[in-house]
Amino acid sequence: MSFDADVIVVGGGLAGLSASLTAVREGLSVLVLERGEFSGAKNVSGGRMYVHALRQLVDISEAPLERPITKETYLIKCSNRAISFSFSDPESRNSYSVLRAKFDPWLAKKAEEEGVIISYNTLVLGAEREDGGMTVRTNRGDLRAPLVIEADGVTAGISRSLGLRKLEPHSLMLGVKEVVKLEGPPEEGEARVLVGFVGELLGGAFMYTNEDTLSLGATVKINSLQEGNKMARDLVEEIRESLGVTGEVLEYSAHLIPYYGYDKLPPLHAPNLLVTGDAAGLLINDGFVIRGMDLAIGSGMIAGKAAKRILSEGKPQDTSVYERMLRESFVLKDMYTARRAFTLMNEERLFRRYPELLCDVLARMFKVEGERKRLLEVVQEEASKRGLTLTKLVRDLVKVM
Ligand SMILES: Cc1cc2nc3c(=O)[nH]c(=O)nc-3n(C[C@H](O)[C@H](O)[C@H](O)COP(=O)(O)OP(=O)(O)OC[C@H]3O[C@@H](n4cnc5c(N)ncnc54)[C@H](O)[C@@H]3O)c2cc1C
């Protein structure tokens, strides 16, 4: 069987571009198949990128990043009351706001300059294992390689076409986002975690300041969106209005987000196949950070290196080294660390009962009406009103610690 490249990468987003750049640097020939007109045309992120993985791939001073995030704010809303607290670290250069429509084309150009071939407007329809390699079916005909790196995002079309997994609504969230023109420049790059802004739905909201725009939106469990009978478009509008943001809306997008967690990850590899990024369910939400982009870049880079090792040994069916490399890296180590917090992020009480509980406790602690109770007693009383015990509260707290 003749091959079109050493490696075919399906999807030209962060995972695919990181995998292809790394594989080309390892001396392999690489073909990326991307359905969009350009990389970034179909990609959505909130967009705050932790840049530790990106730093290992490129010189980040050249990258079109928006602003360094130097201020973290939690805003918890319960009815007409609110709690907020902020943490500022002006020197922090650990994460940046990004706009994927700017960032991904830049990374794609870099990959092409280093020898990656990207075929745009190429929709991959599925894949089949044949004669020791993989045949990838596209709208432009079939292509063959001994190894395929799947980087086609959350819907994981290749894994599904090979029968490795199904798409289950309970493992998905919907992300909706607007980019709004900033009225006057922000003083600094800020990330806001917004709790209690999605009504009865299970999920949270976010806002990031970019160079001259704001990204704001929400991530909600698909099931609760169906139950709540709510349109995603209305949800993001409500969030914008409740934040008092009035600038012109420049962009609206919606995208699925994988929500598997470490304990329920889908298969990460199969004969002739390495699965990366969202396609591999790599996403962390531990209440402090939401990370998919650095995991996509990290897993992509590891896949590029693993591809070299696999092909050098001449056994593209034996891809287990990729999972071993992922386990030794921050990708699966951090997924493991976040596993308990991740299960808590799936709980109804976190979104519905805890914000109200916190507001009621604070409202009572800031009031003086005769006899005053200790904080612990107030917490106990408010918790029991909601069918919660102190032990349950402490257990949940331990999960995020
Ligand atoms: C609203 C929202 C907010 C988010 N916020 C953050 C955040 O603040 N920080 C963070 O780190 N992460 C965030 N994420 C998650 C992050 O966006 C993803 O984890 C990341 O984009 C995954 O990258 P990827 O390369 O695996 O997938 P993608 O970026 O989805 O790339 C997949 C690529 O494959 C292409 N493709 C798909 N199917 C085919 C096909 N059949 N044929 C050819 N090409 C195909 C697509 O066009 C796309 O270019 C957010 C996600 C959403 C939706």
Taking residues 361-375, what's their average pLDDT? 92
Q: What's the CA gap between 254 and 257, in Å, rounded?
A: 10
Strand pairing category for 172-181 and 189-195: unpaired
State pLDDT tens for residues 263-284: 999 999 999 999 999 999 999 9
> Which amino acid, residue 128?
E
Rg, the chain, Cα only: 23
Atom of ligand 1 nearest to the CA of 154: 30
pLDDT at residue 349 greater than cutoff 80: no
Task: State in Å: Cα 392 to ligand 1 middle.
Answer: 35
pLDDT at res. 192: 95
Q: Which residues pair with 129 in a beta bridge?
A: 134
Q: What's the CA gap between 81 and 196, in Å, rounded?
A: 10
Read off the pTM: 0.95
Atom of ligand 1 nearest to the CA of 291: 11
pLDDT at residue 29 greater than cutoff 90: yes
DSSP assignment letter at 68:
B
pLDDT at res. 289: 86
Q: Which domains occur in the chain, in start order?
A: 7-64+98-166+262-337 (3.50.50.60), 352-400 (no CATH)
22, 35, 94, 121: residue to mutate for ligand 1 pocket, most atoms within 8 A of CB? 35
Q: Where are the beta strands (DSSP E) in 246-332?
A: 249-258, 269-270, 273-275, 284-285, 290-291
The backbone region for 17, taken as left when phi is positive above 0, alpha when psi lies in -120 to 50, beta otherwise, is alpha
Atom of ligand 1 nearest to the CA of 176: 1
pLDDT at res. 344: 79
Q: What's the CA gap between 88 and 73, in Å, rounded?
A: 9
pLDDT at residue 118 greater than cutoff 80: yes
Task: Give me the percent of the chain exceeding a pLDDT of 70.
Answer: 99
Q: Which residue's CA is the closest to the ligand 1 atom numbered 30?
A: 153
pLDDT at residue 352 greater than cutoff 80: no
Q: Which residue's CA is the closest to the ligand 1 atom numbered 52?
A: 45
CA 243 to chain centroid: 23
State pLDDT tens for residues 298-339: 999 999 999 999 999 999 999 999 999 999 999 999 999 999
In terms of Cα–Cα distance, which of 361, 366, 397 is closest to 378?
361
pLDDT at res. 398: 84
Q: What's the CA gap between 5 and 323, in Å, rounded?
A: 23
- Tokens for 56, please give them: 């290992």
Q: What are phi and psi of 168, to 5 degrees?
A: -110, 130
Cβ contact 111:118 at 8 Å: yes
pLDDT at res. 1: 66
Q: What's the CA gap between 77 and 83, in Å, rounded?
A: 6
CA 166 to chain centroid: 20
Taking residues 172-177, what's their average pLDDT? 93
